[in-house]
């Protein structure tokens, strides 16, 4: 970890010394423009505990211990990305997160490692590791997410980076993307071979006026590894630690299957922004086909969110994805107010993975284009059967984040 700390310190120094840029140009080699891009997140979580049994009986010491969350703060991300723009129109990137999955620090993890080529003005292809096309929020750059924790369905069903190949058709108003993928580069992050598809249509696209209406649909289907499937969702806090260090991270929703054959995820998405206001929502449904004639396991969820920008800065839109504007006034920065309702149901028949819903309100302050401070207040209601007892875990959470982006 000593090397990781040194590299993070170097990235911090570069961000402070660099003018407000989205990326830092390094050199031009053989006609290829090379850039450096970095992202550092420091998160802090503070919980107001509210744990109870649905039958009204007193909690046992073991039940309290298994469901109590620990206030904590640590580096969540430490991403370093090198990009190249070639004279033939092709682009490549190599990204690595020094902090590792969800801030664990375990060996770090590879991010986007791929090459994108252009066939003509509308068609591109990509090979390598990249995000799969089944979630508007997941596909949006992490530095532009309005909330500290992504929506529950994004964390539950979003197939993030996998190694594979992609073909995409994109105009200002229509995109159609198809992928084939296999496992992730990172050794401990696996998923079976599969395919994905996403189509989007924007009947209103007026970037100059700052108005876009967007609709989309997606489907991902993949095999399992050794017939195993697991779903673990945390309480709207990415680094949610149990008060017993030996238990590690706490999942308020949890399902494990040893007889899973294939997984299919279908999604619908919608978004509209006009001037300072943006509203967005998604619905996803996951179906796990099981072996030996057992019934399918199904789970689903949705969210709707609203964001209001306290300035005249406008959102951007390209390739079926939105972007947040750079502050026009670097002194005042860019202020955003955000709210979201979020729900996930992982109960299906005898499989009781749990139910969870939450309200989140947030405030973001972009300072120039390199820094952002965020605060979220989360009101969570979750319930899950544990050892035959229905446990309600309904904490209120104060979340803080500092972001440095280069």
Tell how strand 297-309 and strand 334-348 pair up: antiparallel
Query: Under the phi-then-psi rule, with left for phi > 0, alpha for psi from -120 to 50, and beta for the rest, what region is 113?
Result: beta
What pLDDT is stored for residue 10 in this prediction?
A: 44
CATH 2.40.50.140 fits 2-405, yes or no: no
Question: Which tokens belong to 193?
Answer: 């071979």
Could you tell me what percent of the chain has a pLDDT over 90? 66
| Best CA proximity match to 191, nearest among 120, 131, 106 | 131
Would you give the DSSP letter of residue 106?
S
pLDDT reading at 227 higher than 60: yes
> Per-residue pLDDT tens for 299-321?
999 999 999 999 888 899 999 99
What pLDDT is stored for residue 191 in this prediction?
A: 74
> Per-residue pLDDT tens for 283-298?
999 999 999 889 999 9
Give the mean pLDDT of 44-60: 94
């Amino acid at each position: 970890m000593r090397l990781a700390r040194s590299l993070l310190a170097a990235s911090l120094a570069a961000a402070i010394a660099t003018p407000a840029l989205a990326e830092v140009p390094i050199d031009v080699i053989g006609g290829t423009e090379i850039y450096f891009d970095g992202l550092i997140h420091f998160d802090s979580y503070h919980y107001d505990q509210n744990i109870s049994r649905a039958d009204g009986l007193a909690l046992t010491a073991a039940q309290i211990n298994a469901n109590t969350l620990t206030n904590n703060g640590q580096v969540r991300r430490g991403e370093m990305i090198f990009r190249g723009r070639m004279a033939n129109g092709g682009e490549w990137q190599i990204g690595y997160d020094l902090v590792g999955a969800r801030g664990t620090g375990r060996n770090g993890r590879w991010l986007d490692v791929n090459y994108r080529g252009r066939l003509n003005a509308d068609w591109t292809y990509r090979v390598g590791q990249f995000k799969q096309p089944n979630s508007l929020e997941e596909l949006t750059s992490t530095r532009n997410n309005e909330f500290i924790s992504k929506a529950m369905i994004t964390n539950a069903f979003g197939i993030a980076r996998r190694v594979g190949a992609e073909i995409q058709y994109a105009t200002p108003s229509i995109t159609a993307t198809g992928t084939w993928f296999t496992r992730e580069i990172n050794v401990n992050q696996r998923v079976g071979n599969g395919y994905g598809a996403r189509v989007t249509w924007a009947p209103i696209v007026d970037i100059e006026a700052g108005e876009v209406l967007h609709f989309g649909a997606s489907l991902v289907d993949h095999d399992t590894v050794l017939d195993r499937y697991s779903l673990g969702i945390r309480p709207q806090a990415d680094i949610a630690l149990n008060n017993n260090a030996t238990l590690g991270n706490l999942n308020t929703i949890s399902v494990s299957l040893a007889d899973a054959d294939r997984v299919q995820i279908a999604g619908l998405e919608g978004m509209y922004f006009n001037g300072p206001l943006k509203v967005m929502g998604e619905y996803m449904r996951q179906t796990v086909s099981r072996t030996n004639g057992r019934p399918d396991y199904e789970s689903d969820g949705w969210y709707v969110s609203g964001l209001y920008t306290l300035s005249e800065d406008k959102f951007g839109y390209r390739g079926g994805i939105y972007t947040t504007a750079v502050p026009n006034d670097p002194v005042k920065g860019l202020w955003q107010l955000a709210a979201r309702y979020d729900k996930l149901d992982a109960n299906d028949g005898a499989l009781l993975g749990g139910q969870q819903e939450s309200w989140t309100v947030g405030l973001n302050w972009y300072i120039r284009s390199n820094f952002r401070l965020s605060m979220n207040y989360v009101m969570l209601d979750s319930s899950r059967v544990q050892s035959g007892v229905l446990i309600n875990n309904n904490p209120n959470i104060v979340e803080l984040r500092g972001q440095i982006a280069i």
